[in-house]
Amino acid sequence: MNSERVTLLTDSSKRPASANTPNPNLKDLSRHARAIEEHLHHVHPSEVGTYRVNELYKVHGEAEIQRNKQQHHMNVDSQMMQGHENIKAGDKRVRKMLHGTRAEEKQKEIAMHDNYNNAKEERDKHRKTMRNIKSDARIHQKAGNFVEQDVRFVTQMNFDHSRQLGFRKDGSHVSSVPNSPTGSPRGSPSSSPHGSPVGSPRGSSSASSGKFSSSSPNRSTSGPGPSHKTTGA
């Protein structure tokens, strides 16, 4: 993916003059983009255009990190549920030895499905954020704040891990892992321990492994952010 990277345009003269003016009242901006526009009043006019692009890029990249994190949890949870179903369908003596009472078995099922459904809900929130940022980029382009390179830079896929998890450049998802397990029961919030199947915290979107930054060192499958070159071209 290195050859496909779109670089940050740092030469403000390549953008229309309107890009140097904050515009928080621009119609249909997401809350993220609007907050950035509000902050631009504190940025030197010569840096407004580049700052706007870079901040939207970071919001999109952080959402990609969190989306991938939750998709990974969904994949693991789905495999655990399938393994649980295989045991249930197997030898009765083995099933009894592994599972204990019927009530305990049901509780495990509810917890696994709740973990999966919670991860899916979080993943979809981050996918929505990414879609919103793509819309923001096009709005800024139409308003004369972005050139095409800015749009492509902000909305590009940043991680090899995204592709490995089944995500395409347009944000769609193709995977052998189902988005919704058949017959998923939903327990009450108190019935699920929400433990991590992979030995790591299963927190909300704020539990990031590291904030996405345009200066992050690499784009490895587990790294916190991509690297990118800057160019005045």
Note the pTM of the prediction, 2 decimals: 0.73
Q: Is residue 58 part of a domain?
A: yes
Alpha-carbon distances, residue 165 vs 60, 162, 179, 184 (angstroms): 17, 5, 12, 22
Q: How far apart, in whole angstroms, are the C-alpha atoms of residue 116 and residue 124? A: 12
Q: Is residue 204 part of a domain?
A: no
**In terms of residue numbers, what domain contains 142?**
2-176
Q: Is residue 82 part of a domain?
A: yes
CB 34 within 8 A of CB 94: no
Q: Is residue 98 part of a domain?
A: yes
Q: Is residue 189 part of a domain?
A: no
Task: Note the pLDDT of residue 112.
Answer: 87
Total domains in the fold of the chain: 1
- Scan for tokens 């655990």, then name that residue: 80
Position 188: which residue type?
S
Q: How far apart are the first and last CA of the chain?
A: 20
Q: Is residue 61 part of a domain?
A: yes
Average pLDDT over residues 35-55: 97
CB under 8 Å to 187, separation ≥6 — which residues? 107, 110, 111, 113, 114
Q: Is residue 206 part of a domain?
A: no
Task: Note the pLDDT of residue 50.
Answer: 97
Q: Looking at per-residue confidence, does 32 or 224 come out higher?
A: 32
Q: Is residue 14 part of a domain?
A: yes
* Residue 94: pLDDT band with limits 50, 70, 90: low
